[in-house]
Homo-oligomer: A and B are copies of this chain.
Amino acid sequence: MSGQPSRDKWSREFPRWFDWIIAEAEVYDYGRYPVKGMGVWMPYGFQIRRRIIELIRGILDPLGHEEVLFPLLIPEHLLRRESEHVKGFEDEVYWVTHGGLEPLDVKLALRPTSETSITYMETFWIKSYKQLPKKYYQVVSIFRYETKATRPMIRLREVTTFKEAHTVHDSFEDAERQVLEAIDAYKKLFDSLGIPYVISRRPEWDKFAGALYTIAFDTIMPDGRALQIGTVHNLGQSFTKAFDFKIQLADETLDHPWQTSYGVSDRVVATVIGVHGDDRGLVLPPNIAPIQVVVVPIPAKDEEGKAKVKETLEEVARILEEAGIRYRVDDREDLRPGAKYYYWEARGVPLRIEIGAREASERAVTLVRRDTLEKSKVGLDELAGRIREEFNDIYENMKDRAWSFMKNRILRTSDLEKAKEWVKERRGIVEIPWCGREDCALRLEEELDAKALGTPWPLEKAPENAKCPVCGKKAITWMRYSKTY
């Protein structure tokens, strides 16, 4: 192992490990492109990202979501239409002011999110409750002039993989049903990637600008800090009123419809990397690994051994091809097997097949799992079936490991000293009884030097005798706090 930073579970080196591995595995080139907060998806990273996007499509499309593509540029007057919304974003919007050498008549914003432009077009497209519910989504770049420290894939000025869904409904109730559908969809997404999460209702003072309320998914990264990985907003009628967007209802009256929106971003990729990786590099779930199996022939000394290895290699390739497995044969002649192992382990390939002369003569190969590094001998006749089983075991193991790590980082307590120590030393999330008052939560944010993530969703009531440790009044639920990204 070279002098790279360690991603030990309890380590504060994690951010450095993250920077190291996205460069080492050629995922994302960050810090060299000459605009702060913007990076380049390299070929290998692009394929991981692409498979995650396909996974998202595979979940949203069957639920009736329709993919669209809206312009990047939003004219200033459109962005300003909903007043809470623009207040939430105006400090961090990039403005296009010139075309060629001419100043533009109307300033154009690089979209920070698309509620305004989508609602504007919906006024043309949707006239009647008969067309509802309507569910659009797009996968696009969004731009935010972040003043906080930027981080690759986690806090960017160009978020290149923003999947934003926007829905329209004829009643508040149907929008509420949509919020549940969206939460289920995101659970499915994160589950299929083995990513653990807690779901919170964000505090009133931290909801999406323009929403009635925001439900958020957070995970805990290896250094114990929470990372927001998905949000679902019930927008109520804020935008439809601001755009005077009305539809005909079943009772023939006209009214403003109801909306929701929900999004995930590049952070999903960052989380797969961060949550599952280890000191050797990436560990990718088989469903999104660009290469699922790498095959490494071990050079034999004698001619007979060479022939056996070659023959077995061809048979293995045929088996993988027929089984529809994404594989790569690494037959580079200028690299020793050990260097190849190192190379593909860094890239997180779920399974490695080593073909040595001795085993080859028995029609067998060695299978090595990336997640546990366990080796086993497998006969060629059972290889395809065995790989499928291993993929499943790998996925289950990665998921279990990630969930148990996260659960061990969540502490429910009413003891403030314990909570403080948890946040400071062990890190992770603490859940503290809360009376429902903003003042008390803000006070605790300061005291814990942590951020209030919100209350558990679905709502959990605090026990009868639980008290807010700040004001001493009766607690109604729990508030979650954590250091965050």
Interface residue ranges, A against B (CB under 8 Å): 29, 32-35, 38-43, 46-47, 49-50, 66-73, 75, 77-78, 90-102, 106, 108, 110, 117, 120-121, 124-125, 136, 141, 143, 145, 147, 158, 160
Subset of 18 A-B contacts with CB under 8 Å: A29-B121, A33-B117, A33-B120, A38-B71, A40-B70, A41-B70, A43-B67, A43-B68, A47-B67, A72-B141, A72-B158, A91-B100, A92-B100, A94-B98, A94-B108, A95-B99, A96-B96, A102-B145
Given A32-B121, A35-B108, A70-B40 in contact, is the A96-B95 Cβ separation under 8 Å?
Answer: yes
Partner of A68, one of B41, B70, B120: B41
The interface residues of chain B lying within 8 Å CB-to-CB of A75 are: 34-35
Report copies per complex: 2
Given A41-B68, A71-B158, A72-B141 in contact, is the A96-B94 Cβ separation under 8 Å?
Answer: yes
How many Å lie between the Cα of A121 and that of B23 in the bound state? 13
Given A32-B124, A124-B29 in contact, is the A39-B71 Cβ separation under 8 Å?
Answer: yes
Closest to A98 in B: B95
The interface residues of chain B lying within 8 Å CB-to-CB of A141 are: 72
How many Å lie between the Cα of A140 and that of B193 in the bound state? 27
Closest to A70 in B: B40
Given A97-B97, A97-B98 in contact, is the A71-B32 Cβ separation under 8 Å?
Answer: no
Question: Does A67 contact B38, Cβ atoms closer than 8 Å?
Answer: no
CB distance from A109 to the nearest CB of B (A): 10
Partner of A34, one of B46, B47, B78, B92: B78
Closest to A101 in B: B91
Question: Does B71 contact A33, Cβ atoms closer than 8 Å?
Answer: yes
How many Å lie between the Cα of A33 and that of B300 in the bound state? 66
Question: Does A99 contact B108, Cβ atoms closer than 8 Å?
Answer: no
Closest to A34 in B: B75
Question: Does A38 contact B100, Cβ atoms closer than 8 Å?
Answer: no
The interface residues of chain B lying within 8 Å CB-to-CB of A38 are: 71, 73
How many Å lie between the Cα of A101 and that of B108 in the bound state? 13
The interface residues of chain B lying within 8 Å CB-to-CB of A106 are: 35
How many Å lie between the Cα of A75 and that of B141 in the bound state? 18
The interface residues of chain B lying within 8 Å CB-to-CB of A39 are: 71
Question: Does B29 contact A158, Cβ atoms closer than 8 Å?
Answer: no
CB distance from A61 to the nearest CB of B (A): 10
Partner of A42, one of B32, B35, B68, B97: B68
Given A32-B121, A75-B34, A90-B100 in contact, is the A40-B67 Cβ separation under 8 Å?
Answer: no
How many Å lie between the Cα of A43 and that of B137 in the bound state? 9
How many Å lie between the Cα of A38 and that of B99 in the bound state? 14
The interface residues of chain B lying within 8 Å CB-to-CB of A68 are: 40-43, 46
Question: Does A66 contact B43, Cβ atoms closer than 8 Å?
Answer: yes
The interface residues of chain B lying within 8 Å CB-to-CB of A50 are: 67
Question: Does A121 contact B71, Cβ atoms closer than 8 Å?
Answer: no
CB distance from A97 to the nearest CB of B (A): 5
How many Å lie between the Cα of A141 and that of B90 in the bound state? 24
Question: Does A41 contact B69, Cβ atoms closer than 8 Å?
Answer: yes
What would 15 more interface pairs be, CB under 8 Å, given A46-B69, A47-B67?
A32-B121, A33-B70, A34-B75, A35-B106, A39-B71, A41-B68, A41-B69, A41-B70, A46-B66, A72-B141, A94-B96, A95-B96, A95-B98, A96-B97, A97-B98
The interface residues of chain B lying within 8 Å CB-to-CB of A96 are: 94-97, 110
Closest to A39 in B: B71
CB distance from A271 to the nearest CB of B (A): 19
How many Å lie between the Cα of A121 and that of B50 in the bound state? 21
